[in-house]
Amino acid sequence: MMKRIRIAECLQSEVPINECSIAGWVRTKRESKENIFIEINDGSCLANLQVVVGVGDSYFETAQRLHTGASVYIHGSLVASPAQGQKWELKPVVITVFGDADQSYPLQKKRHSFEFLREIAHLRPRTNTMGAIMRIRNQVSYAIHTFFQHKGFLYVHTPIITTSDCEGAGEMFQVTTLDLRNLPVVNGSIDYTQDFFGAKAALTVSGQLEGELLAMASGYIYTFGPTFRAENSNTTRHLSEFWMVEPEMAFATLQDDCSLAEEFLRFVFTWVLEKCKEDMQFFDERIKPGIIKNLELIVSSSFEIVTYTEAIEKLKQSRDSFEFPVHWGMDLQTEHERWLTEKYFKKPIIVIHYPKAIKAFYMKLNDDNNTVRAMDVLVPGVGEIIGGSEREDRYDVLIARMKEMELNPDDYWWYLDIRKFGSAPHAGFGLGFERAIQFITGMQNIRDVIPFPRTPGNARF
Ligand code: 4AD
Ligand code: MG
């Protein structure tokens, strides 16, 4: 590897650097009578490094021939910039062009729509927005691991391929090696014993079920992995492949779960405000004005905990009209979630005790026999970012719930065993990683906070 320093480091330097080498891609180039100004970005930070080549300098012609998009290695000296707008600039002694780009390079200086950029996702990482998103995703991942590691949670790895549907919602991508043109059939249905795993298999929608098994041995665990959902929702908040963080705690209740979620989110937001100042400034200026103030406010105030029933009452009393009429028993739609967080409480809220009929089978039934110990964290702008619960730890009740939801207990025998041998209260939640990034950055569409989004009809790149 060529000895070089990252542009982020250059720009933060306190002193001039005599011998300085950088490498990156040309963002823009402009010429005056005496100079050529080239802006180089290497992905290490939002800002570009300005390279100034004077008429008569040995690499003037090389610089003249350079196009936006070209990759270069430049050796020279970092000197104080006489012009406004930047502290440092680079005076080159050597310019090596690795690969030039021609006029057809799609990322010319003008601003492009997010829709257009999704069509060129292979080059999109070179834009300011996706560059900033990538750095924020990185820091948020780091914050997540730091938080759980400091609290003594074990990072565990749950399977991606599974034969059980965690959410019981039937939204799974099947995994098979059977010949689709010649399926083995017994008694009129497909014989999965002949499939690769000897059973019908799919990509997981959540690592929770196995996460619970591990928590019921290790105490505190968390997963952080990809999850897959074949729900046909073409919305700004749904991906078919997204990343989820799922902590699970043994000997814990719904209250512990809510406290953990709040502490966790506060930690992550604080981390980003501290570590991603330049990128957050960018989102504040270009994407959603006020986003930094908003995050600071959220970090410094406590979340509101409301029951589902209270939330429904507030919605019913509201003077605003909703597309989906409000009644007890309904699932909260995005418009309701947003009204509660943006208009009524004006901060993140945790909604608890949902009707059992609209939640997954594994949530602990309350004594009213009607609601479950669920908790969803809703935030302004995005709606639900966390879904969790205390788990049903009573064997008989869990079997009854499965039957009620038309799931076959035999398929979950191992999950049920945990309720037979040393069962205990336990709780956990799942944070949608991309929803969290959306909330932090203020980006409108979830497809723009992941480099290569998978959505119905699209798995390109
Ligand atoms: O509420 P969900 O479905 O909960 C679970 O999967 C539980 N097993 C988690 C647990 O208790 N361990 O999903 C959790 C979160 C949601 O709150 C949302 O933020 C995100 O995952 N999510 C999605 N994000 C992007 N695209 C989708 N299609 C999503 N579906 C859920
Ligand atoms: Mg949910």
Query: For 69-111, what is each residue's pLDDT tens digit?
Result: 999 999 999 999 998 888 999 999 999 999 999 999 999 878 8
pLDDT of residue 84: 86
Query: For 360-379, what is each residue's pLDDT tens digit?
Result: 999 999 999 999 999 999 99
Band of residue 2 on the pLDDT scale cut at 50, 70, 90: low
pLDDT of residue 309: 98
| Helix (H) or strand (E) segment spanning residue 64 | helix 60-65
Count the neighbouring beta carbons within 10 Å of the beta carbon of residue 102.
9
Query: Quick one: which ligand is closest to 332's CA?
Result: 2
Query: For 242-295, what is each residue's pLDDT tens digit?
Result: 999 999 999 999 999 999 999 999 999 999 999 999 999 999 999 999 999 999
CB atoms within 5 A of ion ligand 2 belong to 387
d(CA 378, CA 315): 15
Domain residue ranges of the chain, discontinuous segments joined by +: 7-99, 125-153+252-448
* 14: its two tokens: 């306190």
Amino acid at the residue 270: T
Query: For 433-446, what is each residue's pLDDT tens digit?
Result: 999 999 999 999 99
Q: What is the DSSP letter of 125?
A: G
Residue 166 Cβ < 6 Å to ligand 1:
yes
The CATH number of the structural domain formed by 125-153+252-448 is: 3.30.930.10
Superfamily of domain 7-99: Nucleic acid-binding proteins (2.40.50.140)
Residue 156 Cβ < 6 Å to ligand 1:
no
Query: Quick one: which ligand is closest to 445's CA?
Result: 1
Q: Say whether 237 sits in a helix, a strand or coil.
A: coil
| Helix (H) or strand (E) segment spanning residue 342 | none
Query: Quick one: which ligand is closest to 430's CA?
Result: 1
Residue 243 Cβ < 6 Å to ligand 1:
no
Residue 39 Cβ < 6 Å to ligand 1:
no
Protein residue closest via CA to atom 27 of ligand 1:
238
DSSP string computed for 29-60: EEE-SSEEEEEEE-SSSSSPEEEEEETTSTTH
d(CA 461, CA 459): 7
DSSP string computed for 376-444: EEEETTTEEEEEEEEB---HHHHHHHHHHTT--GGGGHHHHHTTTSS---EEEEEEEHHHHHHHHHT-S
Ligand 1, pocket-test mutation among 171, 349, 435, most atoms within 8 A of CB? 435
Looking at the chain, the number of H-run helices and the number of E-run strands are: 13, 18
Residue 257 Cβ < 6 Å to ligand 1:
no
